[in-house]
């Protein structure tokens, strides 16, 4: 009987474990949403860009590797589009480091990759709100002895359809042809 007791205890524990509430711990798929952030040329309001496919990317100017790779991928996709398709497509990089990233720096950085790209920023609270809309994550790392810090962040690009809805989440490393196909699928 004493040898059976641990087995009975485990069985009861497993049965009781299934008696909790049935709420799912899986988060809902992000839906994206409209935002207004600042560029060097003035406010960028996604509502004013209805009718275009938007590629939204969260990054920062001092990013050593992920951001340049993602921006280059976006650039290659824009280059692969026809001029007519490109006129209906816009890539926007949202800074997750508003303390260091200036409007002029963002403009120069985005233009380095493609003249049709825009760099935007806002207050820390505005950036946090927009990131949550897309399910993008970022966290500022503690500074080193010289005061330098990194910002760990999501490496996805978010494709917004002409109606302003989040249509596709594009992972880092997606081939250019697949990005172009996704853009073309959603062009008006």
For residue range 38-86, list pLDDT tens digits in order: 999 999 999 999 999 999 999 999 999 999 999 999 999 999 999 999 9
Please give the Cα distance from 95 to 103 (Å, whole number): 10
Q: Which CATH superfamily is domain 32-186 in?
A: Glutaredoxin (3.40.30.10)
**Which of the pair, 6 or 169, is modelled with greater confidence?**
169
pLDDT the model gives residue 129:
98
Work out the average pLDDT over 145-160. 96
For the chain, what are the domain ranges?
Answer: 32-186
Residue 143's pLDDT band (cuts 50, 70, 90):
very high
pLDDT in tens, 80-121: 999 999 999 999 999 999 999 999 999 999 999 999 999 999
Place of tokens 């798929």: 29
Of residues 120 and 16, which shows the higher confidence score? 120
The per-residue pLDDT of the chain, averaged, comes to 89
pLDDT on residue 29: 75
pTM of the model: 0.84
Instruction: Give the confidence band of 27 by pLDDT, cuts at 50, 70, 90.
Output: low
pLDDT grade for 4, boundaries at 50, 70 and 90: very low
Is the pLDDT at 36 greater than 60? The verdict is yes
Res. 31 pLDDT band, cuts 50 70 90 = confident
């Amino acid at each position: 009987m004493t040898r059976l007791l641990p087995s009975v205890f485990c069985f009861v524990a497993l049965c009781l474990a299934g008696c909790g509430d049935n709420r799912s711990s899986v988060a809902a798929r992000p839906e994206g949403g409209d935002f207004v952030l600042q560029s060097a040329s003035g406010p960028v309001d996604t509502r004013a860009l209805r009718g275009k496919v938007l590629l939204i990317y969260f990054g920062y100017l001092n990013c050593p590797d992920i951001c340049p790779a993602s921006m280059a991928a976006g650039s290659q996709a824009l280059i692969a589009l026809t001029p007519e398709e490109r006129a209906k497509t816009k890539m926007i990089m949202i800074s997750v480091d508003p303390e260091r990233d200036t409007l002029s720096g963002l403009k120069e950085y985005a233009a380095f990759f493609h003249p049709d790209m825009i760099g935007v920023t806002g207050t820390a609270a505005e950036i946090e709100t927009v990131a949550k809309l897309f399910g993008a994550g970022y966290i500022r790392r503690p500074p080193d002895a010289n005061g330098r810090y990194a910002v760990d962040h999501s490496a996805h690009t978010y494709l917004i359809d002409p109606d302003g809805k989040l249509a596709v989440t594009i992972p880092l490393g997606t081939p250019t042809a697949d990005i172009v196909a996704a853009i073309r699928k959603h062009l008006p």
